[in-house]
Structure 1
Amino acid sequence: MNIFLTGACGYKGTVLVPKLLAAGHQVTAFDIMWFDNHLAPAPGLTVVQGDIRDADQLDLSGFDAVIHLSSVANDPCSDLNPLLTWEISCLATMRLADKAARQGIKHFIYASSGSVYGLKDEDSVTEDLELVPLSEYNKTKMVGERVLMSYSDQMTVQIVRPATVCGLSNRMRLDVAVNLLTMQAISKGEITVLGGDQTRPNIHIDDITDLYLFLLNRPDVQGIYNAGFENISIRDIAEMAAKHTGAKIVIKPSNDPRSYRVSSAKLLATGFKPTKTVEHAIREIVEAFKAGKLKDEDRYYNLKWMQHKGLAGV
């Protein structure tokens, strides 16, 4: 397939692109590159630095599929500039979906978020529950989903609601739970846990990127799917990181008691099988740090880097 991939230079995109190329696809990697470009040149890869908000840059003629990863990622970054968040994560999604339909794209995969559910009391959060998004980030993802589903009679629409992603990427993020706690353990010898009893769903970066490849090959699998295979507590994550680093754990009070468990039974019923765990991610991060391939740097924390680069006012 000839694939148009937005957000291709981001945390997930940087892992996904080589997998798409290895599977024989042609990839146009479209990204604004706020966090630079860590994609290695390769046959079949075209890298385009562009702004998803500029509809004139979005020529989809000749493409077979769109994988749309672009957004202002996570709540703190989205809150820096709510207008920018709505422009990138919502309005640009609307324009991209409209252009895809008009230009005959037959396959559209949209990266939403498991956070669209908001606070839930249910023991297991399934796709049919009401969405009650709490932040600008969550709200834009919910609206993006509804926009895409309105085109489901014109193209295959697959919407993924990932849990918190963990694991290594050349465009690393250290501001997500597993990666953050593991880096604390490695660099400081101490892990600070706020509360600790809160349960969160997680997914390894290899599994979420493998899922996009799986969906490309399964146009019959349409609709909305949760993707989170380990519902574990923050304390359990810290204990795993401590086991592999020898770090001590310090528990402090938390004003965020939220716990929720995501069910991915609907996705598993399609035949998709995850292959990695949170513990894999922790081991990989520890090994990369010891090998000198990973350091604790501001550029790996989205909020710090956006503030450093003055991106809040873009």
Structure 2
Amino acid sequence: MNPKTILVTGATGYKGTVLVPKLLALGHRVIAFDTQWFGNFLPSHDNLSVIKGDVRDTDTINLDGVDSIIHLASIANDPCGDLNPKLTWEVSALATMRLADKAKCSGVKQFIYASSGSVYGIKDEEHVTEDLTLEPISEYNKTKMVAERVLLSYASDMAVQIVRPATVCGVSKRMRLDVSVNMLTMQALKNGKITVFGGDQVRPNIHIDDITDLYIYMLDNPDKVSGVFNAGFENISIMDIAKMVQAKIACEIDVTPSNDPRCYRINSDKLLATGFTPNKNVDTAIIEIITAYKQGLLKDEDHFYNLKWMQREVL
């Protein structure tokens, strides 16, 4: 494998904090670009340049010598996206368009984009595949859909690889405790009680090691894995996730009514057919979160909740 120079946007976020050390271990040079709203937990490394910046300021992003872009930066999740729709469209759509155009003009060969499995909206189909219509229902997934369409228009200029990930779970130094598996596990550990709103809603899931390994797999296979790919391997109801946690931590499950109708399932057969194989699952994530908490490596901190932190520190 030839070492590359890779720009990772959103590099100090939940996924980026796991991805960047893996890229460095493989010998790549990484430019980590992020607003650092939630802090910076990346290790220092001779091949790592950490730049505090905003993707909306595209002119400040130097793409000289960059071989590949892994674009993770966005206003993440529905509640945060709805908090300030203008900011969401500027960051998640407009900045992506401008970065893609700059990448083309700068001769970047590869653009890997983190979209979302939520772009399909609410589907009744048991197998939600990449050829179904996109019917996004929030600002967050509307911007993802628009950004996807723009990026695909550059497919003749560079390798464009779009991932529609499931909800990510598992441990990161820049943890997120506002996503289902992580949140329910932390509730059980800290309170001995899990609160489930509704419970019937289904969520697709992917372990953080598998999604970051997928970005590396795409990096290494720009031709074999081109186009749009779902990435999620376990479609599980919120109640069943709670029961999985309860099987490992003695806790109560308190069910309350919910006005959240969102039900997401995704099918990832197209990705699996390329040869990619996941190595972990929700059960692994729960065990790893419990272990990290008991070892004092993971704490329940405000900056691990995107909405709470953005309301307090960003907006």
Calculate the TM-score normalised by the size of structure 1. Answer: 0.97
Cα shift readout 1:202-259 (whole Å, capped 9, x = no counterpart): 0000000000000011011100000000011111110111111111111222223443
Task: Find the aligned partners of 1:256 and 1:10 in 2 and give their Cα distance.
Answer: 26
Partner residue in 1 for 2:88:
85
Partner residue in 1 for 2:269:
265
Task: Find the aligned partners of 1:55 and 1:11 in 2 and give their Cα distance.
Answer: 22
Change (3 A) 1:83 1:259: closer
Partner residue in 1 for 2:228:
224
Partner residue in 1 for 2:109:
106
Aligned residue pairs, count? 311
SS for the counterpart of 1:63 is coil
The runs of 5 or more residues in structure 2 that have no matched partner are none
Partner residue in 2 for 1:20:
23
Q: CA deviation at 1:171?
A: 0.4
Q: 1:35 aligns with which of 38, 51, 55?
A: 38
Alignment of 1:122-137 (within 5 A): 122-137=125-140
Structure 1 consecutive aligned stretches of length 4 or more whose deviation exceeds 4 Å: none
Q: What amino acid is aligned across from residue 192 of structure 2 in structure 1?
A: G
Partner residue in 1 for 2:166:
163
Q: CA deviation at 1:68?
A: 0.3
Task: Find the aligned partners of 1:114 and 1:103 in 2 and give their Cα distance.
Answer: 30
Q: What amino acid is aligned across from residue 225 of structure 1 in structure 2?
A: F
Q: 1:244 aligns with which of 237, 245, 248?
A: 248
Q: Is the CA contact 2:10–2:34 (under 8 Å) kept in the aligned structure 1?
A: yes
Q: Is the CA contact 1:90–1:143 (under 8 Å) kept in the aligned structure 2?
A: yes
Q: Is the CA contact 2:166–2:231 (under 8 Å) kept in the aligned structure 1?
A: yes
Task: Find the aligned partners of 1:17 and 1:215 in 2 and give their Cα distance.
Answer: 15
Q: CA deviation at 1:260?
A: 3.4
Q: What amino acid is aligned across from residue 189 of structure 1 in structure 2?
A: G
The runs of 5 or more residues in structure 1 that have no matched partner are none
1:204 aligns with 2:196: no
Cα shift readout 1:81-133 (whole Å, capped 9, x = no counterpart): 11011111111000100000001011110000001111111111000011011
What's the Cα RMSD here? Answer: 0.9
Q: Is the CA contact 2:75–2:140 (under 8 Å) kept in the aligned structure 1?
A: yes
Calculate the TM-score normalised by the size of structure 2. Answer: 0.97
Change (3 A) 1:260 1:55: closer
Q: What amino acid is aligned across from residue 241 of structure 2 in structure 1?
A: I
Moved more, 156-165 or 235-244: 235-244
Q: What amino acid is aligned across from residue 259 of structure 1 in structure 2?
A: C
Q: What amino acid is aligned across from residue 40 of structure 1 in structure 2?
A: P
State percent identity of aligned pairs. Answer: 67
Q: 1:179 aligns with which of 148, 173, 182?
A: 182
Task: Find the aligned partners of 2:196 and 2:87 in 1 and give their Cα distance.
Answer: 32
Task: Find the aligned partners of 1:141 and 1:261 in 2 and give their Cα distance.
Answer: 17
Change (3 A) 1:139 1:258: closer
SS for the counterpart of 2:89 is helix
Q: Is the CA contact 2:121–2:264 (under 8 Å) kept in the aligned structure 1?
A: no
Q: CA deviation at 1:43?
A: 2.1
Task: Find the aligned partners of 1:113 and 1:106 in 2 and give their Cα distance.
Answer: 23
Q: CA deviation at 1:42?
A: 1.1
